[in-house]
Amino acid sequence: MRIDIVSIFPDYLAPLRLSLPGKAIDRGILELGVHDLRSWTRDVHRSVDDTPYGGGPGMVMRPDVWGECLDDVCPDDALLVVPTPAGVPFTQATAEEFSTESHLVFACGRYEGIDQRVFDDAARRVRVREVSIGDFVLIGGEVAVMAMIEATVRLIPGVLGNNESHEQDSFSDGILEGPAYTRPQQWRGLSVPPVLLSGDHARIAAWRHEQGLARTEALRPDLLAGPTVSAGPDHTA
């Protein structure tokens, strides 16, 4: 997989080269390109934003600079991912869809976002996904992109040391995972549930599922209410 990221703060994405994505890069599983949007500016001030048509707070990122950048960075076979508070929810299903792509391009906006025509124009030749990582407002897209990349890259075969790890993830089977324990067996008067010491793998699996279900019912009943909308193949958001 190749991932390209465009941002006016490219250094913000440096931590991606640590931990999981970094290992995937070192092992040749992932190619990562980070691009400074200002490289496509043509004015002496290297301007990337302007005042919003129709008024309103803040500034909007210019279509001309983004358009020329994406012409260079985003080929027709790539999936263009645009983080935005107004996007379709990014979920584990989205991460699974993204992990099967050969080329992802992430457009990190700042200010009050990017001129909509950038994505309308891009949609003439590439698939575009406008996605949100949650119902809260960030200052820009970089944090969202790092979260989406980590959630996506960990699903690529060979990235996680033990392929089992992501198959027991929260959300992968629609419910939260149960509690985890490690040594010592007794800690501050608290014991590890005896079933986990039984060596009976069927009982342990059943107990973990029950614990996950109880946790889901208590904390995330919405996950039990049925399928939800998320940024996937059938959403052209």
Q: Which residues bind ligand JEK (CB under 6 A)?
A: 56-57, 83-85, 87, 109-110, 112-113, 132-134, 136-141, 144
Total number of residues shown for the chain: 237
38 catalytic, yes or no? no
Task: Give the distance, in angstroms, between the CA of residue 30 and the centroid of all CA atoms in the same chain.
Answer: 15
Task: Between 84 and 216, name the residue whose CB sits nearer to ligand JEK.
Answer: 84
Least separation in angstroms between residue 44's CB and ligand JEK is: 25
Tell me whether the omega of the peptide bond preceding residue 157 falls within 30 degrees of 0, making it cis.
no
Which segments of the chain does DSSP mark as H helices, in order? 19-26, 63-73, 92-98, 117-122, 142-153, 164-167, 201-219
CB 79 within 8 A of CB 9: no
Least separation in angstroms between residue 51's CB and ligand JEK is: 12
Least separation in angstroms between residue 145's CB and ligand JEK is: 8
C-alpha torsion angle, residues 69, 71, 76, 82 (rounded to 10): 30
The encoded tokens of residue 167 equal 């198959």
Q: Tell me which of 110, 129, 154, 208 is the catalytic residue.
A: 154
Least separation in angstroms between residue 74's CB and ligand JEK is: 17
154 catalytic, yes or no? yes
3-state secondary structure of 143: helix
Q: Tell me which of 68, 96, 121, 169 is the catalytic residue.
A: 169
Residue 114 DSSP code: B
Task: Between 115 and 155, name the residue whose CB sits nearer to ligand JEK.
Answer: 115
CB 107 within 8 A of CB 114: yes
Residue 137 CB contacts under 8 Å (≥ 6 apart), including other chains: 85
Task: Between 19 and 116, name the residue whose CB sits nearer to ligand JEK.
Answer: 116
Least separation in angstroms between residue 170's CB and ligand JEK is: 19
Task: Between 139 and 180, name the residue whose CB sits nearer to ligand JEK.
Answer: 139
3-state secondary structure of 218: helix
Q: Tell me which of 11, 112, 167, 210 is the catalytic residue.
A: 112
Task: Between 44 and 137, name the residue whose CB sits nearer to ligand JEK.
Answer: 137
Could you list the active site residues? 85, 112, 154, 169
